Structure 1
Amino acid sequence: MGVLTDYFRAPDDEAVIRLLDRTRGHSPIVGRKPSFDGVEAKGVDPGVVLGSLVATIRGVPWDVQQVKVSQVWPPASEQEPDPSEDDPFQDGPWAFALDDPTRDTLAGVAPADVTALVVTFVERTEELRGGGADEWRPVVEDLIGLARTARDADQHLYCWACL
Structure 2
Amino acid sequence: MGVLTDYFRAADAESVVQALRRLDGGPLVGTRSPAFDGVEAKGIDVCVVLGQLIAAIKQVPWTVELVEEKTVWPATPPPGPDDLGDENDPWGTGPWVSELDNTTRDALAGVFDADVSRVVTEWVQAEELAGVRADDIEPLAKELVHLARRARDAGDRLYCWTCL
Structure-1-length-normalised TM-score: 0.93
Hey, what's the Cα distance between the residues in 2 that align with 1:107 and 1:33? 24
Instruction: Work out the percentage of aligned pairs sharing the same amino acid.
Output: 52
Q: Is the 8 A contact 1:70 1:96 kept in 2?
A: yes
Shift of 1:2: 1.5
Which of 87, 93, 96 is 2:95 aligned to?
Answer: 93
| SS state at 2:119 partner | helix
Moved over 4 A (4+): none
Counterparts in 2 of 1:4-19, with a 5 A limit?
A: 4-19=4-19
Tell me which residue corresponds to 1:111.
113
The reply on whether 1:37 has 2:15 as its aligned counterpart is no
Q: 1:64 to 1:76 in 2, by over 3 A?
A: farther
| SS state at 1:158 partner | strand
Hey, what's the Cα distance between the residues in 2 that align with 1:9 and 1:130? 29
Hey, what's the Cα distance between the residues in 2 that align with 1:84 and 1:8? 27
Deviations 1:53-101 (A, max 9, x none): 0011001000011110000011242x43221343432231011000000
RMSD: 1.2
Hey, what's the Cα distance between the residues in 1 that align with 2:88 and 2:51? 28
Shift of 1:22: 1.6
Tell me which residue corresponds to 1:71.
71
- For structure 2, list consecutive stretches of 5 or more residues without a partner in the other structure: none
Structure-2-length-normalised TM-score: 0.93
Shift of 1:28: 1.1
